[in-house]
């Protein structure tokens, strides 16, 4: 694989990563509820899920999953249901409006942080569109007979790295405006928006043929 091919691949990956999706909303939800640490743990969970799906696609396992209709449909509905669950949680928080202490009043216990990592991980690993992305984009930059397993893994892991960097930028933005985000009215509005968006993503995933 040449550097020019990899450069073209980077452009495609950046454009795909910057498009708002469930991962962005899950990170915002956890950043609002758990502060910077909460958002970082959710981001780490998403990156972990990305690495697993990328590895599966690069090693050929993703093709097997994508071609197994019952397994693919099950994964799709699990993902849709989980996004809807997260969305309902966010909307319930907006309705209750209990934000005593602002963004600094977060649960910093081990269980809470693991739960935020788990939300990020499950939202990514149960989203078959991530796997489809790998399987549709990766082959365009692979040359049969010339591309090695290392090349395929490099392309797959690039998605996870770029995605992780984008989530860090998002977390930096949240941290910069933390005082504004700490206002009760703003928190309720953002929780309502992210919750609605997550339910919308879940519905779109479920209805997609």
In the chain, where are the structural domains located?
22-207
With 50 as the cut, is the pLDDT of residue 38 above it? Answer: yes
Over residues 129-149, the mean pLDDT reads 74
With 60 as the cut, is the pLDDT of residue 100 above it? Answer: no
pLDDT of residue 103: 47
Whole-angstrom CA distances from 123 to 11, 87, 113, 137, 202 are 25, 11, 16, 21, 10
Which carries the bigger pLDDT value, residue 107 or residue 8? Answer: 8
| Structure tokens, 157 | 């892991």
pLDDT of residue 180: 74
With 70 as the cut, is the pLDDT of residue 177 above it? Answer: yes
Q: Which of 5-14, 22-31, 56-65, 91-100 has the lowest mean pLDDT?
A: 91-100
Is the torsion defined by CA of 111, 167, 192, 85 positive or negative? Answer: negative
Q: How many Cα atoms occupy the beta-carbon half-sphere of 151 within 13 Å?
A: 17
With 60 as the cut, is the pLDDT of residue 152 above it? Answer: yes
Which carries the bigger pLDDT value, residue 133 or residue 37? Answer: 37
């Amino acid at each position: 694989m040449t550097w020019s091919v990899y450069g073209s691949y980077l452009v495609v990956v950046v454009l795909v990563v910057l498009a708002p999706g469930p991962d962005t909303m899950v990170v915002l939800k956890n950043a609002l509820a758990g502060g910077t640490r909460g958002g970082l743990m959710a981001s780490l969970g998403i990156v972990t899920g990305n690495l697993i799906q990328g590895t599966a696609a690069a090693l050929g396992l993703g093709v097997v999953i994508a071609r197994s209709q019952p397994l693919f449909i099950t994964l799709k509905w699990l993902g849709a249901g989980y996004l809807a669950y997260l969305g309902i949680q966010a909307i319930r928080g907006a309705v209750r409006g209990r934000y005593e202490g602002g963004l600094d009043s977060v649960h910093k216990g081990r269980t809470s942080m693991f739960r935020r990592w788990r939300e990020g991980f499950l939202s990514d690993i149960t989203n078959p569109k991530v796997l489809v992305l790998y399987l549709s984009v990766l082959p365009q930059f692979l040359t049969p007979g010339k591309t090695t397993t290392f090349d395929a893994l490099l392309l797959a892991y690039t998605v996870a790295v770029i995605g992780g960097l984008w989530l860090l930028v998002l977390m930096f933005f949240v941290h910069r405006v933390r005082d504004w985000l700490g206002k009760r009215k703003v928190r309720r509005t953002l929780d309502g928006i992210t919750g609605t968006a997550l339910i919308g993503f879940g519905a779109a995933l479920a209805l997609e043929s």
